[in-house]
Amino acid sequence: MEKKKMTHEVPKEEWNDFFDDLSKRRFEWETKIQIIKESIGDQILDQGLSLNGITVEERDDKTIVQIIVGHDSGHHQTHNIINPTKVRYLADEDKPSGIVEIEEMDGTKTLVYIIQPQPIVLKFVETKQMSAT
């Protein structure tokens, strides 16, 4: 049986709710961010950083989508997209991972691949058992 891929275009009036929900459900999932632009080709901006959130802000006459990834102050990035025109979400029917596509007026696309939950790293501490004397 063939896996079904679903693409959903998110209406602009739903961007805030969509990104808030996605950011909560996929918080700290591994990501890859790619830019596709005719003049520069495909560029990977980062890979392997965890999702902190995607937000939408209205400032003056601009709409700004912010993509925030990373796990600490030394390993984080914020990507701003000014006045995007479309937001789409592509997902496999049976997988929780997906791709957010944010398109700008000039056709530039930012793809946010939401891959999988980050592994939980537990610190192992060796303890010595003291014998009763």
Digit-coded pLDDT (tens) for 16-57: 999 999 999 999 899 999 999 988 888 998 898 999 999 999
Q: Which domain holds residue 93?
A: 5-115
Digit-coded pLDDT (tens) for 95-112: 778 999 999 999 999 999
Query: Per the domain annotation, does 123 fall within a domain?
Result: no
How many angstroms separate the CA atoms of 115 and 50, rounded? 10
pLDDT band for position 132 (50/70/90)? low
DSSP 59-84: ETTEEEEEEEEEEETTEEEEEEEESE
Query: Per the domain annotation, does 121 fall within a domain?
Result: no
First and final C-alpha spacing in the chain: 67
Ranges of H-type helices in the chain: 15-25
Query: Per the domain annotation, does 131 fall within a domain?
Result: no
Digit-coded pLDDT (tens) for 58-79: 988 999 999 999 976 677 899 9
Query: Per the domain annotation, does 19 fall within a domain?
Result: yes
Number of domains in the chain: 1
Res. 131: pLDDT tops 60 = no
Q: What's residue 9's pLDDT? A: 95
Query: Per the domain annotation, does 68 fall within a domain?
Result: yes
Res. 133: pLDDT tops 60 = no
CATH number at residue 23: 2.30.29
Query: Per the domain annotation, does 77 fall within a domain?
Result: yes
How many angstroms separate the CA atoms of 26 and 48, rounded? 14
